[in-house]
Amino acid sequence: MSLVGRKAPLFKASAVINGGEIVNDFTLEDYKGKNYVVLFFYPKDFTFVCPTELHAFQEKLAEFEKRGCAVVACSTDTEQSHWGWLQLPKNQGGIQGITYPIVADTNKLISMAYDVLNGEYFADENGNMAATAELIAFRGLYLIDKDGIVQHMLINNLPLGRNVDEALRMLDALIFTEENGEACPANWAAGKDGLNATHDGVAEYLGKH
């Protein structure tokens, strides 16, 4: 079921913040009423595509923050694994220099709540527990507003990296609609006109075209 338009599932979990500090009670509740949140899931630490995404978000972190948006990453690895990966330099495949929080979804409940867990448990014909696939997170991304409502979601399969500029564009679109009460047409970008519904229900571009 899509989470768009619904409350983002809450959680409290261990996380690594500020590039190396482990906390045990990280929660999205701390952002409610103050910040937008981009929460993104990735499959595994110490892999190949994942560090390119984490570094790409770090490179644009200032752009998110100046819009009042926090960036939070999450995978099913442990906080100790996150911490170890953070100590490894970028030229060695590490994510040293990442400063936004990286959540440890060790029991996979967060990934299940956001419906990004690849695979599920089942009992085989002998009653033994098995899994349909490796239980790691797909590349899910959620844009959450200041009221804790999911306004945008995107889920990519494991090999397909995301476009961080598109996440920024969607954040700009959300802010635009909140501030102007107008909708954003296809390929909208910051600085472009929005759409306004006229009294007879016909949408039209604002401004001169």
The pLDDT value recorded for residue 199 is 37
Q: Into how many domains does the chain fold? A: 2
> Which residue range is the domain that position 51 belongs to?
12-160
As a whole-number percent, the residues of the chain with pLDDT over 70 amount to 93
Are 107 and 182 part of one and the same domain?
A: no
More confident residue, 177 or 122: 177
Are 155 and 176 part of one and the same domain?
A: no
153-169 per-position pLDDT tens digit: 999 999 999 999 999 99
More confident residue, 197 or 112: 112
Are 88 and 149 part of one and the same domain?
A: yes
Are 16 and 96 part of one and the same domain?
A: yes
Q: Which two tokens stand for residue 86?
A: 């953070």
Are 149 and 177 part of one and the same domain?
A: no
The pLDDT value recorded for residue 198 is 54
| Prediction pTM value | 0.90
50 is catalytic: yes
Q: Is residue 88 part of a domain?
A: yes
Residue 207 has pLDDT above 70, yes or no: no
50, 69, 74, 184: the active-site residue:
50
Q: What is the CATH number of the domain that holds 115?
A: 3.40.30.10
As a whole-number percent, the residues of the chain with pLDDT over 90 amount to 81
Q: Is residue 6 part of a domain?
A: no
Beta bridge partners of 149: 7
DSSP letters along the chain, please? ---TTSBPPP-EEEEEETTTEEEEEEEGGGGTTT-EEEEEE-S-SS-SHHHHHHHHHHHTHHHHHHTTEEEEEEESS-HHHHHHHHTS-GGGT--TT--S-EEE-TTSHHHHHTT-BS--EEE-TTS-EEESS---B-EEEEEE-TTSBEEEEEEE-TT----HHHHHHHHHHHHHHHHH--B--TT--TTS--EEE-TTS-EEESS--
Are 186 and 86 part of one and the same domain?
A: no
Q: Is residue 2 part of a domain?
A: no
Average pLDDT over residues 78-100: 97
CA distances from 198 to 44, 177, 195, 204, 206 (A): 48, 16, 9, 7, 10
Q: Is residue 37 part of a domain?
A: yes
Can you tell me the distance from the alpha carbon of 192 to that of 32, in angstroms, rounded to the nearest whole number?
A: 29
Are 116 and 129 part of one and the same domain?
A: yes
Are 35 and 99 part of one and the same domain?
A: yes
- State the residue for tokens 């939070």: 72
**Contact at 8 Å (CB) between 80 and 71?**
no
Q: Is residue 4 part of a domain?
A: no
